[in-house]
Amino acid sequence: MKAALRIAVVIGLLGSSGVHFYLWTIEGLGFLAPLFLLNAISGPLIAIGLLAWRHRLMTWLAVDFGVATLGSYAIAETVGVFAQRDHFSTFAEYCATGTELVCIICGTLLLILDRGARKNRSDQQPKPEYTLPILLARKTETSDGGERGF
């Protein structure tokens, strides 16, 4: 189940990045074009990290990517950004919204499953007892050639 969710998040990241790259190639974005390029580059990097390093940090980055991208689109849709206001009407907007929702929902489920697995793993294994290093048993040489305990 976790592998399927991880693959779904990767597909969502790559889909959103592909849409942002396509939108970056269209003229008329103005000063927002570098932000579209940033999304187009960061999505595959997070996807590679999610597949290569199975740590919850990468899952958090994927969820945050989806939340930030979808949140910025919602702001652009409702209030507008610097006198530019989008209209939810193109196929690219539908695809980007869907892929970002996949990142958010599947990433959140993956985080929940990881937390449950970590909790179960910690219940089964006894916690190691931590002791201070024994520094008192170390012997050092004195100036007269003898040894003394430290």
Q: Per-residue pLDDT tens for 17-59?
A: 999 898 888 876 777 788 889 999 999 999 999 989 878 888 8
Q: What is the pLDDT of residue 72?
A: 86
Q: Residue ranges per domain, the chain?
A: 2-123
Higher confidence at residue 119 or residue 64?
64
Q: What is the pLDDT of residues 98-128, one digit of tens each?
A: 999 999 999 999 989 887 666 665 556 555 5
pLDDT band at 137 (very low <50, low <70, confident <90, very high): low
Q: What is the pLDDT of residue 134?
A: 53
Sequence-separated (6 or more) residues with CB below 8 Å from residue 102: 8, 9, 11, 12, 15, 66
- What integer best gives the mean pLDDT of the chain? 79
Q: What is the pLDDT of residue 48?
A: 93
Q: What is the pLDDT of residue 1?
A: 82
User: Has this prediction a pTM greater than 0.85?
Assistant: no
SS3 97: helix
